[in-house]
A and B are shown apart, each in its own frame.
Chain A
Amino acid sequence: MLATIGVADAAALFADIPAAYRFPAYELPPALSESEILRELQALAEANADAGHVPCFRGAGAYNHFVPSVVRALTGRGEFATTYTPYQPEVSQGTLQAHFEYQSMLATLTGMDAANVSHYDGATAAAEAVIMALKVREGHAARVVLSPTLPPQYRAVIRTYLQGVPGEIVGEELPHGDLAALAAAVDENTACLLVANPDFLGRLYTPDEMRAPAEAVHAVGGLFAVGVDPISLGLFTPPGAYGADIVTGEGQCLGNELNFGGPYLGLFATRTQYVRKSAGRIVGETTDCQGRRGYVLTLSTREQHIRREKASSNICSNEALNALAAAIYLASMGASGLRRVAELCWHKAHYAADRLGSLPGFRVAPGRFFKEFVLHCPAPVAELNRRLRAEYGLLGGYAPGEDYPDLADAMLVCVTEMNPRAEIDRLADALAALTR
Chain B
Amino acid sequence: MIEPLLIELSKPGRCGTSLPALDVPETPLPAEGLRDELPLPELAEPQVVRHYTHLSQLNYAIDTVFYPLGSCTMKYNPKVDDVAATQPGFTRLHPLTAEEDAQGALRLMLALQRLLAEIGGFAAVSLLPAAGAQGELIGVLMIRKYLYDRGETARRVVLVPDSAHGTNPATTAMSGLTVRQVPSDARGNVDLAALGALIDELGPQLLGLMLTNPNTLGLFDEGLTEIIARVHNAGGLVYGDGANLNALLGALKPGHMGFDVMHFNLHKTFATPHGGGGPGAGTVAASAALADYLPAPLVGEVDGLVRWVTPAHTVGRMKAFGGNFAVLVRAYVYLRMLGADGLRAVSENAVINANYLQARLRDLYPIPHGDRRCMHEFVAQGLLAGAPGVKTLDIAKRLLDFGIHPPTVYFPLIVPEALMIEPTETESKETLDYFIDTMRQIADEARNTPDLLTTAPHNTPLCRLDEVKAARQPSLCWLK
To the question of whether A and B form a pair in one complex, the answer is: yes
Which A residues from 298 to 323 make CB contacts under 8 A with B?
298-301, 303-311, 313-322
Q: A258 contacts which of B95, B179, B280 (Cβ < 8 Å)?
A: B95
Say yes or no: A5 contacts B352, CB within 8 Å: yes
Q: A91 contacts which of B91, B105, B400 (Cβ < 8 Å)?
A: B400
Q: B167 contacts which of A2, A94, A108, A304 (Cβ < 8 Å)?
A: A304
B320 at interface (Cβ–Cβ under 8 A)? yes
Q: How far is the CB of B475 from chain A (nearest CB, A)?
A: 4
A8 at interface (Cβ–Cβ under 8 A)? no
A24 at interface (Cβ–Cβ under 8 A)? yes
Known: A44-B104, A122-B320, A296-B470. 4 other contacts (CB 8 A): A48-B93, A61-B96, A164-B175, A290-B462
A424 at interface (Cβ–Cβ under 8 A)? yes
Name 6 A/B residue pairs within 8 A (Cβ), A-sorted: A44-B108, A159-B316, A319-B278, A332-B15, A332-B45, A334-B15
Contact A351 B27, CB 8 Å, known A15-B373, A114-B477 = yes
Q: How far is the CB of A392 from chain B (nearest CB, A)?
A: 14
Q: Given the complex of chains A and B, what is the CA–CA distance between A287 and B43 in angstroms?
A: 26
Identify the closest chain B residue to A241 (Cβ): B35
B302 at interface (Cβ–Cβ under 8 A)? no
- Mask, B34-52, CB within 8 Å of A = 1, is 1100111111010011011
Which A residues from 8 to 24 make CB contacts under 8 A with B?
10-11, 13-18, 21-24
- Mask, A146-174, CB within 8 Å of B = 1, is 00000101101101110111100000000
Contact A50 B173, CB 8 Å, known A77-B56, A83-B274 = no
A101 at interface (Cβ–Cβ under 8 A)? yes
Number of A-B contacts (CB under 8 A): 667
Say yes or no: A260 contacts B102, CB within 8 Å: yes
Say yes or no: A34 contacts B80, CB within 8 Å: yes
Q: Given the complex of chains A and B, what is the CA–CA distance between A120 and B275 in angstroms?
A: 13
9 smallest beta-carbon distances between A and B, as pairs = A261-B321, A78-B63, A31-B339, A164-B176, A45-B89, A47-B104, A321-B275, A160-B316, A261-B95
Contacts of B87 in A (CB 8 A): 41-42, 45
Say yes or no: B16 contacts A331, CB within 8 Å: yes
A257 at interface (Cβ–Cβ under 8 A)? yes
A64 at interface (Cβ–Cβ under 8 A)? yes
Q: Given the complex of chains A and B, what is the CA–CA distance between A206 and B165 in angstroms?
A: 46
Contacts of A300 in B (CB 8 A): 471
Q: A70 contacts which of B16, B91, B340 (Cβ < 8 Å)?
A: B16
* Partner-binding segment picked from B113-121, B379-387, B443-451: B113-121
Which B residues from 31 to 79 make CB contacts under 8 A with A?
32-35, 38-43, 45, 48-49, 51-64, 67, 69, 72, 74, 77
Contact A328 B130, CB 8 Å, known A1-B352, A308-B169, A351-B24 = no
Contacts of B179 in A (CB 8 A): 308-309
Contacts of A24 in B (CB 8 A): 121, 252-253, 256
Say yes or no: B476 contacts A275, CB within 8 Å: yes
Say yes or no: A40 contacts B61, CB within 8 Å: no
Say yes or no: A294 contacts B462, CB within 8 Å: yes
Say yes or no: A82 contacts B63, CB within 8 Å: yes
Say yes or no: B339 contacts A257, CB within 8 Å: no
Q: B131 contacts which of A103, A310, A315, A334 (Cβ < 8 Å)?
A: A315
Say yes or no: B22 contacts A296, CB within 8 Å: no
Q: Given the complex of chains A and B, what is the CA–CA distance between A317 and B277 in angstroms?
A: 5
Say yes or no: A235 contacts B104, CB within 8 Å: no
Say yes or no: A317 contacts B253, CB within 8 Å: no
Q: How far is the CB of A237 from chain B (nearest CB, A)?
A: 5
Contact A101 B478, CB 8 Å, known A41-B329, A319-B279 = yes
Q: Given the complex of chains A and B, what is the CA–CA distance between A261 and B462 in angstroms?
A: 38
Say yes or no: B464 contacts A90, CB within 8 Å: yes
A401 at interface (Cβ–Cβ under 8 A)? no
Say yes or no: B93 contacts A322, CB within 8 Å: no
A433 at interface (Cβ–Cβ under 8 A)? no
Contact A262 B325, CB 8 Å, known A70-B49, A93-B59, A304-B166 = yes
Q: Given the complex of chains A and B, what is the CA–CA distance between A74 and B6 in angstroms?
A: 15
Contacts of A137 in B (CB 8 A): none
Q: How far is the CB of A301 from chain B (nearest CB, A)?
A: 8
Contacts of A82 in B (CB 8 A): 61-63, 77, 273-274
Contacts of A421 in B (CB 8 A): 23-24
Count residues on chain B whose CB falls below 8 Å from chain A CBs.
Answer: 192
A330 at interface (Cβ–Cβ under 8 A)? yes
The CB with the most chain A CB atoms within 10 A, among B63, B89, B329, is that of: B89
Q: How far is the CB of A311 from chain B (nearest CB, A)?
A: 4
A274 at interface (Cβ–Cβ under 8 A)? no
- Mask, A107-123, CB within 8 Å of B = 1, is 11100011101101111
Q: How far is the CB of B186 from chain A (nearest CB, A)?
A: 16
* Partner-binding segment picked from B191-199, B231-239, B284-292, B354-362: B354-362
Contacts of A123 in B (CB 8 A): 317, 319-320
Say yes or no: A290 contacts B463, CB within 8 Å: yes
Identify the closest chain B residue to A35 (Cβ): B80
A97 at interface (Cβ–Cβ under 8 A)? yes
Q: How far is the CB of B288 from chain A (nearest CB, A)?
A: 17
Contacts of B13 in A (CB 8 A): 336
Contacts of A166 in B (CB 8 A): 176
Say yes or no: B61 contacts A80, CB within 8 Å: yes
Contact A258 B58, CB 8 Å, known A88-B400, A118-B278, A153-B321 = no
Q: How far is the CB of A283 from chain B (nearest CB, A)?
A: 7
Identify the closest chain B residue to A204 (Cβ): B33
Q: Given the complex of chains A and B, what is the CA–CA distance between A231 and B48 in angstroms?
A: 20
Contact A79 B326, CB 8 Å, known A4-B356, A294-B462 = no
Contacts of B462 in A (CB 8 A): 89-90, 93, 288, 290, 292, 294
Contacts of A189 in B (CB 8 A): none
Which B residues from 370 to 409 make CB contacts under 8 A with A?
373, 375, 396-397, 400, 405-406
Q: How far is the CB of A384 from chain B (nearest CB, A)?
A: 13
Q: Given the complex of chains A and B, what is the CA–CA distance between A28 and B133 in angstroms?
A: 28
- Mask, A332-354, CB within 8 Å of B = 1, is 11111111110110111011001
Say yes or no: A331 contacts B320, CB within 8 Å: no
Say yes or no: B118 contacts A28, CB within 8 Å: yes
- Mask, B255-279, CB within 8 Å of A = 1, is 0110000000101000001111111
Contacts of B98 in A (CB 8 A): 385-386, 389
Say yes or no: B92 contacts A97, CB within 8 Å: no
Q: Given the complex of chains A and B, what is the CA–CA distance between A318 and B130 in angstroms?
A: 8
Say yes or no: A336 contacts B88, CB within 8 Å: no
Q: Given the complex of chains A and B, what is the CA–CA distance between A275 and B92 in angstroms?
A: 35
A179 at interface (Cβ–Cβ under 8 A)? no
B122 at interface (Cβ–Cβ under 8 A)? no
Q: Given the complex of chains A and B, what is the CA–CA distance between A328 and B16 in angstroms?
A: 10
Q: Given the complex of chains A and B, what is the CA–CA distance between A90 and B265 in angstroms?
A: 27
Q: How far is the CB of A276 from chain B (nearest CB, A)?
A: 9
Say yes or no: B336 contacts A47, CB within 8 Å: no
Contacts of A28 in B (CB 8 A): 115, 118-119, 335, 339-340, 343
Q: B32 contacts which of A74, A208, A341 (Cβ < 8 Å)?
A: A208
